[in-house]
Structure 1
């Protein structure tokens, strides 16, 4: 299963999270053979780490944004896209 998937580093947060949910679902069913379960677990661990990194990066960008007393949003050259 993991051999046909895109490299984790190339996935968006949403793609990685969706795949992680699929991996967790497959493992929870308990119907996957042992070797495939191990591969799924490894892929899931990589996906979780990737999602965590993406979230930390987003949090860092958000914390750079501040609201001025007049209600305008200011920041330090932050690209949120």
Structure 2
């Protein structure tokens, strides 16, 4: 059985896609042994989840930007918005 390891995240979305495409080609070629195939499959699943997370964050940021452009609200980055939420949560604590 494949050992669970901590997966290093790719530096960019494009790097993740390129690695995922490479893994897919290797598995489809059928030249890998069972253990190597399982390891590659596990890495591929990690990359898919990573890409989904990046896309979800980008989608939320686009919605935020689009909403602010339509409603005349100021545009903020996701990081700034999250920091402001954290500050507001601290104010609510007794």
Q: Is 1:22 matched with 2:42?
A: no
Size of the aligned set, in residue pairs, is 70
* Structure with larger Rg: 2
Cα pair distance change 1:75/1:62, threshold 3 Å:
farther
Q: Which has the higher strand share?
A: 1
Q: Any unmatched runs of 5+ in structure 2?
A: 1-6, 79-94
Cα pair distance change 1:34/1:74, threshold 3 Å:
same
For CA contacts below 8 A with separation 6 or more, give which structure has more relative contact order.
Answer: 1
**Deviation per CA, 1:36-74, whole angstroms, max 9, x where unpaired?**
0000000000000000100000000000012348xxx86
TM-score, structure 1 length as denominator? 0.74
C-alpha separation between the residues in 2 aligned to 1:65 and 1:22? 34
Q: Any unmatched runs of 5+ in structure 1?
A: 1-5
C-alpha separation between the residues in 2 aligned to 1:59 and 1:21? 23
Q: Which has the higher helix share?
A: 2
